[in-house]
Chain A
């Protein structure tokens, strides 16, 4: 399965899109634990793209490419925002940052996916999850 989407930066629409997309993965027989990881990373990445990338500017779009087989899931997300300094994000898992109310999205993505790369000054992220 290989699909491309052009999404409006609307949180409600994005969450509904993810729920529908996960249903489309059902035929691949992905186990529940991996589906949890995929859902959480997709939500965190797309919510970041809406809030910090597009800043909910309805004239901008989020571009999503998904390639899925029984063995591997590859997701590419690109927004039209300013990008971010993905190499110098403070770790939310450090004692001094434990009580911070934000900053866990990318950290979770990096921990739950098998491979995560950023391009174009952080505007584009590619993540990979091995399914088998």
Chain B
């Protein structure tokens, strides 16, 4: 998994490349540790290059949501493939996360 980040004002856009699963979730968690310790409160996760997610990846995102909430932070997810999005729909996690079709839509009014 490769994670690159870009800053736009007070928002960090985090582009994830690769699968989000049992193997790679620790990398994602580590990246978010650094965001949280630097008090970053607005994060957009771009999933355009994420072809696969499993229940462990979903749990990592829930954990992040809970941790960000504690510092009054929030995050949005954008550019999911249809298949990955279907996993969020089946599990009803689309109700929990803010999911946007595009990065520019996710940036709007954040």
Contacts and interface: CB of A to CB of B under 8 A. Distances in A.
Nearest to A37: B83
Contact of B90 (A36, A94, A111): A111
Contacts of A33: 83
Interface stretch (A40-48, A59-67, A76-84, A120-128): A40-48
Interface of B: 21-23, 52, 54-56, 58-59, 62-63, 65-66, 83, 87, 90-93, 95-96
Contacts of A47: 22, 56
Interface centre among B23, B58, B92, B93 (most CB of A within 10 A): B92
13 contacts: A11-B22, A15-B23, A36-B83, A40-B87, A43-B22, A44-B54, A93-B92, A99-B66, A101-B63, A102-B55, A107-B90, A107-B91, A108-B55
Interface string A89-132: 00011110011111011011001100000000000000000000
B21 to A, nearest CB: 7
Contacts of B21: 43
Interface of A: 11, 15, 32-33, 36, 39-40, 43-44, 47, 92-95, 98-102, 104-105, 107-108, 111-112
B53 to A, nearest CB: 8
Contact of A39 (B52, B59, B62, B90): B52
A94 B21 CA distance: 23
